[in-house]
Amino acid sequence: MSEVRVRFAPSPTGFLHIGGARTALFNWLYARHHQGKFFLRIEDTDQDRSSDEAIEAILDGMRWLGLDWDIWEGGSEETVRQTERFNLYKEKVRQLLDEGKAYRCYCTAEELARRRTEAMKAKRVPRYDGRCRNREAQADNQPYAIRFKAHTEGQIVINDMVKGEVIFESSTVDDLIIARSDGTPTYNFCVVVDDVAMGMTHVIRGDDHLNNTPRQIRLYEAFGYAVPKFGHLPMILGSDKARLSKRHGATAVQQYRQEGYLPEAMLNYLVRLGWSYKDQELFSLTELVEKFSVDSIGTSPSIFNPEKLLWVNAHHIKTGDPKRLTAPLLPLLSQLGINTKSIDSERLERIICALQERSRTMIELAESAACFFLDEIPYDDKTQKFLKAENVPILKAVRDCLLDTPFEHDALLEAFKAICEAQDLKLAKVAQPIRAAVTGKVVSPGIFDVLELLGRETSLKRIEGQIQKLRG
């Protein structure tokens, strides 16, 4: 196979959405699997709906996910922006006009709307009737759009990489407007011009574009261009089988970032929205690059399941290299009021190691890690059950023995055992009040690991603080 060249071509009208991110991921994986190229093209010709903030949000989402893109050889910028390519589109529109493959259409918006309503009333599929095809050029000042003269005979057959053979009757493909009356080119036209200019070998996109594909194929044919291979991905739906929307929860990728999801978990979850490999659920990115193939993309829509995403996230946190988890954790710790500049990285990694097992999101990890760095910790209401006057003797006994016990797991365990024996108590009876006193929570990793990580001074200060408070 010659070099694979694919692209992600978002319209910048909002954030990077779950569906868009999945399209980007599938293209990225396809390119990386085949050692090909993956480009990013910003389809901003609809200037009323596009914005620079949306472009930034999309780039930011892509970077966060780690879906790096190649710089197109034909451009000097990091991304290809359609609004910077109007000259090329104009030239191509002119070419079709000169070759008699396009024509000026003088029908006004009102006329078209009226004809559409009439067709609907008469239960006909509304389509442009081609009446301007043979119309003489009108006076100069009369506005016109430019339409492509589509073939009306035969069929258009798409050998879709995902859906298999899809056949369209040419008669259903009407004469597409390729340039509006203000001269701006339209989506279907720019896509074809750009996909050819950028040398795309495969076009993988959502199946909401399937109806555009026969129109685009006719344009490829009119220009005499080779048609790329198409792959249309089934939609992502919410649990009620309606198309995924805000009603189903967060749909913007960045929202998940804020909620403490890891990009590797997002990618792992997204890939399973349509693609499968045996019954494997959890993948690293390297594994995905190796295993990805378009043949294993299913043909039915996928249901977005936030609980499963959370489960996948928990897995990636649990198995993540503590060094790798440091970067997303630090800003969350700073949000909790911790001065992260003074944090010792080796200690932080040991804390992550102790906490990653039980954290489903990076927010949960940060919240459990906070007690290791804050001077004053907040106390969860649940700790009241253990921090009560009758437990003061336990707190005191532990305080006394911690004064000269080495602060490492085994020595602490022995010291606690001795207290339990002396007072005839179960280990949990001693551990729980201590856990509550030193972490402000009732759940934490093993108490000896916690004490070791907190160190003698902080542990004693917090236990002493509770003794003083409970004494009144």
Determine the 3-state secondary structure of 135 from DSSP.
Answer: coil
The DSSP line for 20-38 is HHHHHHHHHHHHHHTT-EE
In whole angstroms, the minimum distance from the beta carbon of 335 to ligand GLU comes to 33
Nearer to ligand GLU, 191 or 420 (CB): 191
Question: Of 330, 372, 331, 378, whose CA–CA distance to 351 is shortest?
Answer: 372
- Specify whether the CB–CB gap between 8 and 24 falls below 8 A: yes
Q: Cα–Cα distance between 427 and 419 in angstroms, integer? A: 9
Nearer to ligand GLU, 173 or 419 (CB): 173
Determine the 3-state secondary structure of 269 from DSSP.
Answer: helix
Question: Of 154, 172, 159, 177, whose CA–CA distance to 228 is shortest?
Answer: 159
In whole angstroms, the minimum distance from the beta carbon of 203 to ligand GLU comes to 6
Nearer to ligand GLU, 213 or 356 (CB): 213
Question: Of 382, 364, 383, 353, whose CA–CA distance to 446 is shortest?
Answer: 353
In whole angstroms, the minimum distance from the beta carbon of 232 to ligand GLU comes to 10
Q: Cα–Cα distance between 80 and 330 in angstroms, integer? A: 34
- Specify whether the CB–CB gap between 156 and 44 falls below 8 A: no
In whole angstroms, the minimum distance from the beta carbon of 216 to ligand GLU comes to 8
Nearer to ligand GLU, 53 or 346 (CB): 53
Question: Of 161, 234, 259, whose CA–CA distance to 201 is shortest?
Answer: 161
Nearer to ligand GLU, 209 or 441 (CB): 209
The DSSP line for 362-393 is HHHHHHHHGGGT-SS----GGGGGTSSGGGHH
Can you read off the two tokens belonging to residue 340?
């992260």
Catalytic site residues? 246
Q: Cα–Cα distance between 356 and 318 in angstroms, integer? A: 5
Of the CA atoms within 13 Å of residue 172, those in its CB half-sphere come to 10
- Specify whether the CB–CB gap between 379 and 387 falls below 8 A: yes
Residue 422 buriedness (CB in 10 A; 0-12 / 13-18 / 19+): exposed
CB-CB neighbours of 194 under 10 Å: 22
Binding residues vs ligand GLU (CB under 6 A): 9-11, 43, 191, 205, 209
